[in-house]
A = this chain, B = another copy of it.
Amino acid sequence: MTGKRSFVMAVAQMGAVNLDDSRASVVARLVEMLKEGKNRGAQFVVFPELALTTFFPRYWMGDAEAQARFFEQTLPSTETSPLFDTARDLGVGFYLGYAELTPEGTPYNSAVIVRPDGSIAGKYRKIHLPGHSDHKPEAPFQHLEKKYFEVGDLGFRVHNVPLGDTEVRMGMCLCNDRRWPETYRVMALQSAEVVVLGYNTPSLNIHWNEPVHLRTTTHLISLQANAYQNGLWVAAAAKCGSEDGHHMIGSSVIVAPTGEIVARAVSEEDEVITANVDLSLGEMFREHVFNFAKHRRPEHYKLITERTGAGAPVK
């Protein structure tokens, strides 16, 4: 397949990370899955959102306590360097979600794309923070992303990531971002070919009695339609299963630009899935049905940037 622009992608789904699991034990699991991905031919591995700890926004605590227990001040650090070292040794790139505390003390829900040589190609700070910032003692658990994190300030950027002979235009996002079509569109308008993301999605909605099965249905259709409508590949890694009794959905997937799921995790545990990512497939969509230059009509899209919330009909 000389000359064909393609690479093998792995998604490394993680089972539960409990409150008392050490960073070292978590990093050891990530390293193990990185090696499994390499053994199955992967050149890039996608890990979940907030992969290094339990999904702590479900707990109410002071910001200082949260930052001391759950945030990273440097990446790589002593605890996370085995992952970076193994990736460089194996020549495998990866995406990792983590809680970032900047030198200035600003907290973000962040992710990085790391090249196969171990260097960081780009960073993303989560823009669509879900949940709330107030304490809801009556709820079965909290969803305090709006308390613990600031809204990301880096936008949705696209990075060139060299994977073997192929330089891949890769964007990234995190969890709730995947349900917002603007996320993918902004990256597609920068010619992204692949979007990678991690997520922690509680099986219960604390705001209304949403049927539990919808959590998986809506996760999948959001990834499928947005992959298709932008002519790009999407790879999404869950942290899932029961973290100290709090259940989160699995169903990590790799989705083709056809909108089809081409690989899907079947467990709610650590599990590696892979697919061959043929970048020319996306080109067929971007050249024809979704040839943006030919078919888009931004003069009719103005409300998307002029309004934040929903308002009255335009006369």
Contacts and interface: CB of A to CB of B under 8 A. Distances in A.
B182 A304 contact: yes
A221 B224 contact: yes
Nearest to A205: B288
A218 interface: yes
Interface string A125-149: 0011110000000000000000000
A216 to B, nearest CB: 11
A4 interface: no
A222 B229 contact: yes
Given A159-B313, A313-B159, A313-B169, A217 B258 contact: yes
A191 B311 contact: yes
A157 B312 CA distance: 10
A288 B179 CA distance: 13
Contacts of A306: 298
A184 to B, nearest CB: 8
Contacts of A218: 228, 258-259
B191 A181 contact: no
Contact of A293 (B182, B207, B258, B308): B308
A302 B305 contact: yes
Contact of A186 (B190, B224, B303): B303
Contact of A301 (B211, B289, B305): B305
Q: How many copies of this chain are found per oligomer? A: 2
A61 to B, nearest CB: 23
A179 B205 CA distance: 29
B185 A284 contact: no
Give the interface centre of A129, A158, A188, A218 by most chain B CB atoms within 10 Å.
A218
Interface in A281-315: 284, 286-298, 300-314
A125 to B, nearest CB: 11
A155 to B, nearest CB: 5
A221 B259 contact: yes
Contacts of A128: 295-297
B214 A304 contact: no
A210 interface: yes
A206 B45 CA distance: 36
A172 to B, nearest CB: 12
A79 interface: no
A59 interface: no
- 6 closest Cβ contacts across the A-B interface? A293-B309, A225-B225, A181-B181, A158-B313, A207-B288, A189-B303
A181 B224 CA distance: 13
A84 interface: no
A210 B292 contact: no
B308 A217 contact: no
Contact of A190 (B289, B292, B295, B310): B310
